[in-house]
Chain A
Amino acid sequence: MTAGRYDRVVTYAVLTVFAIGAIYPALSILSLALHTKSDLVTGFAFPTHPKLDSFRAAWDQADFATGFKSSFIVAAAVTAISAVLSIGTGYAFGTMRFRGDQLVFNVMLLGIIFPYEATVIPLYYDFQSFGILNTYWALILPQVGQSVAFGTFWMRAFFLSTPRGLTEAARIDGAGTFRVLTSVLLPQARPALLTMCALVFTYTWNEFLLALVLVSGAPDKQTAPLTLSFFAGATRAGDPTKVAAAAVLVAAPIVIVYIVLQRHFIRGMLAGAIKE
């Protein structure tokens, strides 16, 4: 019995250590952000007198209002468009058989491991010649393309899991594929859609290289991560508290949504990974 208890304690201890390790860096910059430069923080300093000054300063100086606006517009647009498109592709791959379905699906699966970094160069120059460089579209279009790969896979999995009996019954009643989709299947898709949207929104919000290449020329279109990068680079004479505050600001929306919806996030990433 004692051996079993000892093992159990060890297990809890190991888990706890790893869990704390995972959240420590976040706590560390949060704590740093709650100080101001004159506090001369070293190491991990618990904020005995938390101040929001650094947040205010970072928000104003780096113009995060614009950064957040841009990030939100881009992430929302990408999420909405990819959701619609992925419902379509997932539905087709999940409920219909047609020549080439396996091939096309596998091609789209490639998108999950795709090296997007290798596409930024032509994206830059092509967008420039079409005049959409430094606009929201420059960020939205490629990220929709990227997200549709995961979205297709995810929604297909959902549609595959829906009971055939339901769709059969609807078809026999004379419903076309579109009606079956909207009236019968979609109402059940809410959890799956929520997960997909959460993940796509997160990845889009966090995207950096695309923003760096495609919109750094337009300060009013910069996304929050890009704003953070420029701010951290330009902040004078090392004011780590302001940079920490800025970093917290950028991560906060996603982290908050994550904590609330964590079940969905994790389910999505796990199932996605396993089924691959």
Chain B
Amino acid sequence: MSRRISGTRRALVAAAIAALVAAAGCGGTPGASPSSNAPSSEGAVKTSGFDTLGPVNLTIWSYDNQDPGLEPVLKELSGDFMKQYPNVKITMVFKSFNDLVNIVPRALASDDGPDITEGNQGYQTDAQLVKAGLIVPLDPYIKAYGWDKWYSPSTWSIFQWTNDGKTFGQGPKWGVAQTGQNVNIYVNTKKLSELGFDPNAMPTKFDDFNQMLADVRAKLPKDEPVIEAGNQEGYGFIHMFGGIQAAYVAPQDVRDWIMHVPGSTWDSPETVKALETLQSWGKNGYLNDDYNAIKNDASAAEFAKGKGVFWIGGNWDSAIIGQGLGADNVKVMPFPPGESGVTAGIGSTSGPWHISSKTKYPDVAAAWLNYIISSPKAQELMFSQQQIPSVAGAKAPSTEPYLGQVASAWQAVEGDDGLMLYTDWASPTMYQTLASNFQKLMADKTSPQDMATAVQDDWTKFDDSLK
């Protein structure tokens, strides 16, 4: 009797262990069945006639959640699109930049992810999406709609990847973007003139601007910041640094480095000098004390309430600032050039819009993209929110001087081929590397040289894996 029981028991235990191991190892080699890379539109694409498709549901994700800003633009344009095609239902989901970018690859890989979503240029996000076949190349739509007129070839390059997601700047085009974005210097002209400076005579050279900061610091009460900054997400300083770097380094060198052109480096004496300058802004007390606790958009809102004399950040926050301070009290300018005389700074287009390879309605998605980027209504709405359309030839209404400033700032940089893109595109971990190093740099916990080395090490480690 006991032997029989023990035999049964042993069999049970063996079965249990086998089941456990099977359940545990049921992956085999992980990822052995990747989703196919085939674009879902073969042959000619449809650019109209979607009303015959029956009910269409589009879920669209975006991190352009600034209001005022692009959020109301996207909502209104989607409403228009739905009116034009009553069988189409659009659900817009807005998330913060970090939240969206962190989950978008897995969301697209799932069966109920978004049909259209923003990604992020660079190796962290877009390269992954392309490599895993999660988005479709947009070339058929570029051809059908004539989108090639939109951007210059060097701007198109930021949307290009080879199919293996390894080479940036070449291959099919995977995304399109709504607005031209760059990092400007915003000046509270009222405050500046109260301190005895002439807002109409802003420095035209970077060194002079640097000196002006020191002069303003001397005149401002001690508890007020010269520059209101917000770096909680980590990109605040990345953006601020771009313009400083541009004063010392040629934009093409930075672009080459981001795109892993062999032999490029970030660890150069010029970049180290630029880092020293940024660090000096912290040491000389130009910044507000709580910059690490405030989000970037929030710091724009603080500036709009009157904190600080300058705000350095992206033009997607122009509306917040214009509304808060009053459009007549703000001057918008790109970073004054360094020795080279080239006006340059961090900038590019806004986030790239992608079409999921799992969507059932790629053509409808493309039509939506076409509408939100190039239609006259879209451009009008963008301007009304102080955003600059990215497509060539968009003209700002002449009745809006503030908007004209924002547009000219963008055009000055774009015209000098000075758009430096975003340094965090350079590797999947670069965002984190830059964010933590900038925080350390500004807290004097690391030196400019050590930071440059750390950043270059990250780049090299990733570069090796690309070979």
Assign chain A's interface to a size class.
20 to 34
Residues of B bordering A, CB below 8 Å: 5-6, 9, 13, 26-27, 30, 65-67, 93-96, 98-99, 103, 106-107, 109-113, 294-295, 297-298, 300-301, 320
Smallest beta-carbon distance B290→chain A, Å: 11
A230 within 8 A of B: yes
A217 within 8 A of B: yes
Whether B110 pairs with A219 at a CB distance below 8 angstroms is no
A177 within 8 A of B: no
Query: A99, A128, A219, A236 — which one has the most chain B CB atoms within 10 A of its CB?
Result: A236
Whether A236 pairs with B106 at a CB distance below 8 angstroms is no
- With A122-B27, A230-B96, A237-B297 given, is the CB distance from A99 to B5 under 8 Å? yes
Query: A100 is contacted by which of B9, B65, B109 (Cβ under 8 Å)?
Result: B9
Whether A233 pairs with B301 at a CB distance below 8 angstroms is no
Please, which residue of chain B has its CB at the minimum distance from the CB of A216?
A: B103
A148 within 8 A of B: no
Interface positions, chain A 207-222, Cβ under 8 Å from B, are 216-219
Scan A231-261; emit 1 where CB is below 8 A from any B CB, else 0. Answer: 0011011100000000000000000000000
Smallest beta-carbon distance B64→chain A, Å: 11
Whether B112 pairs with A134 at a CB distance below 8 angstroms is yes
A12 within 8 A of B: no
Which 10 residue pairs across A and B have the least CB separation, nearest first?
Answer: A237-B301, A217-B107, A234-B96, A233-B96, A238-B298, A217-B110, A216-B103, A237-B298, A133-B110, A233-B99
Further 5 A-B residue pairs, CB within 8 A, beyond A134-B110, A230-B99, A236-B66: A99-B5, A217-B113, A234-B65, A234-B95, A236-B67
Whether B112 pairs with A238 at a CB distance below 8 angstroms is no
A59 within 8 A of B: no
A126 within 8 A of B: yes
Scan A10-49; emit 1 where CB is below 8 A from any B CB, else 0. Answer: 0000000000000000000000000000000000000000
Chain A residues positioned under 8 Å from B98 (CB to CB):
233
Whether A238 pairs with B106 at a CB distance below 8 angstroms is no
Complexed CA–CA distance, A131 and B109 (Å): 11
Chain B residues positioned under 8 Å from A131 (CB to CB):
111
Whether A126 pairs with B297 at a CB distance below 8 angstroms is no
Whether A230 pairs with B27 at a CB distance below 8 angstroms is no
A125 within 8 A of B: yes
Residues of A bordering B, CB below 8 Å: 99-100, 122, 124-126, 128, 131, 133-134, 216-219, 230, 233-234, 236-238
Whether B27 pairs with A125 at a CB distance below 8 angstroms is yes
Smallest beta-carbon distance A229→chain B, Å: 8
Smallest beta-carbon distance B262→chain A, Å: 35
- With A230-B95, A234-B94, A236-B66 given, is the CB distance from A128 to B110 under 8 Å? yes
Whether B103 pairs with A99 at a CB distance below 8 angstroms is no
Smallest beta-carbon distance B72→chain A, Å: 12
Complexed CA–CA distance, A124 and B99 (Å): 17
Chain A residues positioned under 8 Å from B107 (CB to CB):
216-217
Query: B9 is contacted by which of A99, A126, A216, A230 (Cβ under 8 Å)?
Result: A99
- With A237-B320, A238-B298 given, is the CB distance from A219 to B9 under 8 Å? no
Please, which residue of chain A has its CB at the minimum distance from the CB of B59?
A: A219
Please, which residue of chain A has its CB at the minimum distance from the CB of B31?
A: A125
Complexed CA–CA distance, A236 and B319 (Å): 13
Smallest beta-carbon distance A168→chain B, Å: 23
Please, which residue of chain A has its CB at the minimum distance from the CB of B106?
A: A217
Complexed CA–CA distance, A131 and B278 (Å): 49
Whether A219 pairs with B111 at a CB distance below 8 angstroms is no
Complexed CA–CA distance, A234 and B297 (Å): 10
Chain B residues positioned under 8 Å from A125 (CB to CB):
27, 30
Smallest beta-carbon distance A70→chain B, Å: 14
Whether A219 pairs with B13 at a CB distance below 8 angstroms is no
Complexed CA–CA distance, A126 and B103 (Å): 17
Smallest beta-carbon distance B296→chain A, Å: 10
Complexed CA–CA distance, A237 and B68 (Å): 11
Chain B residues positioned under 8 Å from A126 (CB to CB):
26-27
Smallest beta-carbon distance B453→chain A, Å: 32
Chain A residues positioned under 8 Å from B67 (CB to CB):
236
Smallest beta-carbon distance B459→chain A, Å: 27
- With A133-B110, A230-B95 given, is the CB distance from A238 to B103 under 8 Å? no
Ordered by A's residue number, 18 sampled pairs between the chains whose C-beta atoms are within 8 Å are A99-B9, A122-B27, A125-B30, A131-B111, A134-B112, A216-B99, A216-B106, A217-B110, A219-B93, A233-B95, A236-B66, A236-B67, A236-B297, A236-B301, A237-B297, A237-B320, A238-B294, A238-B295
